Chain A
């Protein structure tokens, strides 16, 4: 399968996969774009792998994790506490929070590894062994990430982290 054939057949699915993992459609699109641009020059090798799609999905997971590390090291968001210390905060003119999306926001607020584990388990239907293989850790670590994530979600406490942030 050529690179163009792969893109044509699997791009939409990869975008859904990255969006679910990132909990952010824009970030998902950026990550797919970045990964595929880097995969193209190496496609001879990737295309010859037993499952090129699995290889690309692993690249997406790695990119998501390193993307967040890169952003965290270069961008320092100003804390709301620091801003409030200077002036009174303005009223948020944005639309009212939609209760339907509360779970998405909670998922988006989870640490990235926990989020990836949950997405692979619930959206992709992967077993713990498959997840461990994809993210490069032991099965017990996968179960630990999943348990912590589910415990956080069950608490039902909305996080303040913005989607994709």
Chain B
């Protein structure tokens, strides 16, 4: 009796197997992505060597001093943990993680995800080979998951994700937003831009989203930022063409005041008002701030090489 039911169950499962249409091409794409990832890894090692080696070599050769010499990097690497909170467990072929940001309470560290009303957020990008996320530039082709305390989609079709009410917005970027599980959780938005079958892919990623206890390692600290605007901090990190990029955005609890401090191995953008170049070649700057104490905040920043071991994972 049980044996018959098992046979039937397997026959039904086999009948549910997906059709191979399109999978051959996706397998070829996966194989290509695998090869490119290995090449990128090899070139990444070379880039890192150049990123560290060139500034040191240039510093030795320069006759004039650097724009501003500040305190040397701390002997102990800065490490704070910030919660990522949610993660998809399914991705379309070929995309890998390239950017992540997460919010933590500046004074106490990780925010608990189930604190009702707590302002919290995280953002992550998974991008196809060769596509890079550059903060401040238009959204790239790929997959984005964002967690925020308030909904961002105020229009779109009403659907359900795992049984919970959600909004689906179609367009150049397909986005789904919902609040998983209960009212004290933040909102989760999955968006897909420029990938084939974007709507189906978005829905499938959304359905695979799960809570995660994984943390983002923050390797930057700005102790001189006043508590009034530094209650919450959003840290961001990603690889860059010439090394890496990391930033801290301090936000007051009411969300009205914010201050973003960036540290990067590349040259700073034009028009930056406050800039500090450290002896190791890292540029620290503050975007869009006229606060007189900005330079003091900048000079107090502690920063170490970011953890990029997750880059290229799924």
Contacts and interface: CB of A to CB of B under 8 A. Distances in A.
Interface in B64-106: 87, 89-90, 93
A13 to B, nearest CB: 9
A28 B17 contact: yes
Contacts of B93: 33, 37
Interface in A107-160: 107, 118-119, 122-123, 150, 153-154
Interface in B1-35: 2-3, 5-10, 12-14, 16-20, 23-24, 26-28, 30-31, 33-35
A75 B23 CA distance: 26
Contacts of B184: 86-87
A20 interface: yes
Nearest to B27: A36
Contact of B24 (A7, A25, A38, A100): A7
A30 B33 CA distance: 15
A93 interface: yes
A83 B182 contact: yes
Interface stretch (B146-154, B190-198, B204-212): B204-212
A82 to B, nearest CB: 8
B155 interface: no
Contacts of A119: 10
A30 B30 CA distance: 11
A65 interface: no
A107 B24 contact: no
Nearest to B15: A16
B213 A25 contact: no
- Secondary structure call for the A interface: helix
A15 B20 contact: yes
A40 B8 CA distance: 34
A150 B5 CA distance: 11
B3 A122 contact: yes
B146 to A, nearest CB: 18
Contact of B210 (A26, A77, A100): A77
A34 B27 CA distance: 8
B34 A26 contact: no
B90 A30 contact: yes
A28 B6 CA distance: 19
Contact of A41 (B24, B34, B210, B212): B34
B27 A7 contact: yes
A71 interface: yes
A89 to B, nearest CB: 8
A36 B12 CA distance: 24
17 contacts: A15-B19, A16-B17, A20-B17, A28-B17, A29-B18, A37-B27, A41-B31, A74-B87, A75-B87, A75-B89, A89-B182, A90-B164, A94-B163, A103-B5, A118-B6, A122-B6, A122-B7
Closest 3 CB pairs of A and B: A37-B30, A19-B17, A103-B9
Given A37-B93, A93-B160, 13 more contacts: A4-B24, A33-B27, A37-B33, A38-B34, A41-B31, A71-B89, A89-B182, A90-B163, A93-B163, A94-B163, A104-B9, A104-B13, A122-B7
